[in-house]
């Protein structure tokens, strides 16, 4: 139990001010002396023991009637460990421009609003904490020191399974754990939103796996530095959020993971830079099984690593000329519409011009391996937009890309040349007209021999050619005449073969392929 006589002058000032919520400011007013980076040099006149702060927050000095007890302290050096693990705190804590000797322990604590701005802290442990109000760490520097007992990694700010009724304010803050987790927030529930703007920097992974963020995540202009573990700098796997804003100069020097994330409104990367891991060819963005309404991927420049959207579902996809890297994984990616943002800021539907179709086919072909789904999804979008010709071009490209056995590939080339896999049936008419003209001219210049003298209809080159090309039925010419010389006879065999090929191609390409698609 602390006694008043044992307190130092700055501690007595804080003791006396606490019941009335007055602020104790130990700063000198000289910028060179008040820089928090030099807090290790602050002497006894600016030093307050962490145990004194803990005792006050736990109610050792009761509030006065008509006053609200709040601990407010600025410009102090906090000696010792501020250990509030499991505590039930009924008073708010406001610290400004303070320098902590040791990490802060809030494990399992239940507190009111916590404000620690512009300060330097060697780590904060707040797993399973309950904070009724905001947790404000604006402009503070939090460094990871102690190792996690579970994975032996350093953690700067640990909020695993914590509950915050307000918001987590990290604007302008720095979280430093280059070889570990800058922020560990698996299972974090943040009702008021998570704000990492105005120069926020994280050295190490920001881990928010399974977090619940109904108040949104905003990281406009933030910089995430890697490489963290596995090259990941932001992990929002299976997180649920109203919106996620990673925009306006947001820079990720490592992988951003959104696997299984659910975003009720918009997921925005407008103006962002996705550099991917510093070493190796790892992905820049992994968004497998992502669900979002509005997905804005209008980046500032193309990602340096792959973008993985397999199994993702979005209603509106916004893109620009910088959205896609050399490799994009699209198998199972479903979208309702695509809007393209031009250099002048205008947005339009990504349909209606042949260049758009060619660009999108190249986009799909950038995936490793072959999958029909991306082609079918794009064709479906074109069809819904009323561009049936563009849809057929996409489906034709799908068949041309298939990887088949040599025999099947040969048959595929034949279908492509003859009827365009059924999406260009008019090609069969072109072939039929060409062969009919060729046969008519050749047979008109030569005289065949009757099979039976003085029997049958007279020889008609056009009808004879059609009789050869039509494999079913007969017009009476092919059975009534034969050739005694080589060239017309060879041409007749060729026309019979082409007749069967065209008929089979039309049936296979038009009936089977068009019915399936």
SS3 for 391-409 is: HHHHHHHHHHHCCCCHHHH
Write the DSSP string, 244-284: EE--SS-EEESEEE-TT-EEEEEEE-TT-EE---SSSS--S
pLDDT at 456: 65
282 is a domain residue: no
Q: How far apart are CA 191 and CA 433, in angstroms?
A: 71
Q: How far apart are CA 65 and CA 306, in angstroms?
A: 63
**Contact call for residues 377 and 391 (beta carbons, < 8 A):** no
343 is a domain residue: no
Considering only residues 275 and 497, tell me which one the structure prediction assigns the higher pLDDT: 275
- How do residues 104-137 score in pLDDT, each as one tens digit? 999 999 999 999 999 999 999 999 999 999 999 9
414 is a domain residue: yes
Does the pLDDT value for residue 515 go beyond 70? no
pLDDT at 429: 62
* Number of domains within the chain: 1
Mean pLDDT over residues 168-174, rounded? Answer: 97
- How do residues 404-457 score in pLDDT, each as one tens digit? 456 555 545 555 555 555 555 656 667 777 777 877 787 777 777 666 766 667
Does the pLDDT value for residue 373 go beyond 80? yes
Query: What are the beta bridge partners of residue 294?
Result: 266, 316
**Contact call for residues 478 and 468 (beta carbons, < 8 A):** yes
Does the pLDDT value for residue 197 go beyond 50? yes
Q: How far apart are CA 132 and CA 152, in angstroms?
A: 30
455 is a domain residue: yes
Of 187, 188, 278, the closest CA to residue 232 belongs to: 278
Mean pLDDT over residues 29-52, rounded? Answer: 96
pLDDT at 417: 52
Of 9, 5, 40, the closest CA to residue 24 belongs to: 9
Phi, psi of 145 (to 5 degrees): -125, -65
467 is a domain residue: yes
Least confident of 270-284, 360-374, 385-399: 385-399
Averaged pLDDT score across all residues of the chain: 85
Does the pLDDT value for residue 350 go beyond 60? no
pTM: 0.79
Compute the residue count for the chain: 517
- How do residues 41-66 score in pLDDT, each as one tens digit? 999 999 999 999 999 999 888 777 77
- Token pair, residue 234, equals 């932001």
Does the pLDDT value for residue 484 go beyond 80? no
- Token pair, residue 210, equals 């399974």
Least confident of 295-299, 368-372, 382-386, 489-493: 489-493
417 is a domain residue: yes
- Rounded to 10 degrees, the C-alpha dihedral 483/486/488/494 comes to 110
Q: How far apart are CA 123 and CA 279, in angstroms?
A: 28
Residue 428 in 3-state DSSP?
A: helix
Structure confidence at residue 354 as a pLDDT band (50, 70, 90): very low
- Token pair, residue 353, equals 């011009």
Q: How far apart are CA 214 and CA 423, in angstroms?
A: 47
Peptide bond before 227: cis, by omega within 30 degrees of 0?
yes
Contacts of 374 (CB under 8 A, 6+ apart): 330, 331, 333, 364, 367
Strands, E assignment, 17-128: 23-25, 47-49, 71-74, 77-79, 82-83, 93-96, 99-100, 104-105, 110-111, 114-117, 120-121, 124-125
pLDDT at 514: 46
Q: How far apart are CA 14 and CA 248, in angstroms?
A: 42
Count the neighbouring beta carbons within 10 Å of the beta carbon of residue 470: 17
Least confident of 61-75, 295-309, 483-497: 483-497
Does the pLDDT value for residue 98 go beyond 90? yes
Percent of the chain with pLDDT over 90: 58
For tokens 């910088």, name the residue: 322
User: What b/e sequence results for 150-177 when a residue is b if at least 16 CB atoms lie within 10 Å of its CB, and e otherwise?
Assistant: eeebbbbbbbbbbbbebbbbbbbbbbbb
Q: How far apart are CA 325 and CA 200, in angstroms?
A: 26
453 is a domain residue: yes
Q: How far apart are CA 251 and CA 253, in angstroms?
A: 6
239 is a domain residue: no
**Domain region containing 477:** 408-516
């Amino acid at each position: 139990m602390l006694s008043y006589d044992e307190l130092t002058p700055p501690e007595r000032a804080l003791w006396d001010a606490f019941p009335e919520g007055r602020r104790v400011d130990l700063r000198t007013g000289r910028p060179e002396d008040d820089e928090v980076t030099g807090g290790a040099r602050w002497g006894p006149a600016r030093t307050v023991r962490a145990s004194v702060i803990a005792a006050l927050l736990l109610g050792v000095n009761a509030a006065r009637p008509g006053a609200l007890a709040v601990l407010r302290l600025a410009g102090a050096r906090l000696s010792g460990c501020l250990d509030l693990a499991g505590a039930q705190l009924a008073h708010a804590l406001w610290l400004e421009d303070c320098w902590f000797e040791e990490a802060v322990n809030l494990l399992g604590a239940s507190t009111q609003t916590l404000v620690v701005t512009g300060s330097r802290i060697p780590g904060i442990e707040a797993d399973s904490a309950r904070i009724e109000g905001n947790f404000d760490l604006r402009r503070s520097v939090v460094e990871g020191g102690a190792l996690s007992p579970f994975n032996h990694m350093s953690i700067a700010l640990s909020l695993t399974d914590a509950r915050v009724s307000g918001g987590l304010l990290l604007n302008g803050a720095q979280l430093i754990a280059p070889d570990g987790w800058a922020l560990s927030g698996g299972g974090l529930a943040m009702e008021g939103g998570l704000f990492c703007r105005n120069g926020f920097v994280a050295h190490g992974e920001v881990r928010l796996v399974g977090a619940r963020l109904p108040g949104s995540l905003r990281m406009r202009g933030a910089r995430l530095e890697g490489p963290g573990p596995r090259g990941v700098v932001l992990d929002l796997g299976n997180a649920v959020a109203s919106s996620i804003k990673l925009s306006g100069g947001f820079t990720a020097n490592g992988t951003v993971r959104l696997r299984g994330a659910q975003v009720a409104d918009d997921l925005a990367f407008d103006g962002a830079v996705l550099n991917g891991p510093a070493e190796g060819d790892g992905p820049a963005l992994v968004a497998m099984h992502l669900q979002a309404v509005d997905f804005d991927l209008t980046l500032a420049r193309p990602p340096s690593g792959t973008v993985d959207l397999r199994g993702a579902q979005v209603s509106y996809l916004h893109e620009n000329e910088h959205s896609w890297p050399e490799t994009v994984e699209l198998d199972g990616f479903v979208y309702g519409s695509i809007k393209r943002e031009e250099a002048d800021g205008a947005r339009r539907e990504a349909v209606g011009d042949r260049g758009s179709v060619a660009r999108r086919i190249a986009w799909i072909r950038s995936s490793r391996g072959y999958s029909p789904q991306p082609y079918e999804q794009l064709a479906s979008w074109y069809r819904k937009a009323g561009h049936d010709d563009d849809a057929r071009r996409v489906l034709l490209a799908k068949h041309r890309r298939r990887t088949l056995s040599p025999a099947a590939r040969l048959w595929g080339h034949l279908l492509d040349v003859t009827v365009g896999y059924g999406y260009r049936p008019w090609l069969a008419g072109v072939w039929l007209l060409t062969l009919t003209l060729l046969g008519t001219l050749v047979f008109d210049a030569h005289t065949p021999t009757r099979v039976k003298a003085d029997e049958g209809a007279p020889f008609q080159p056009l009808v004879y050619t059609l009789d050869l090309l039509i494999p079913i039925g007969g017009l009476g010419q092919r059975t009534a005449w034969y050739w005694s010389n080589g060239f017309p006879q060879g041409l007749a065999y060729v026309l019979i073969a082409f007749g069967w090929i065209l008929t089979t191609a039309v049936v296979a390409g038009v009936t089977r392929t068009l019915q399936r698609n």
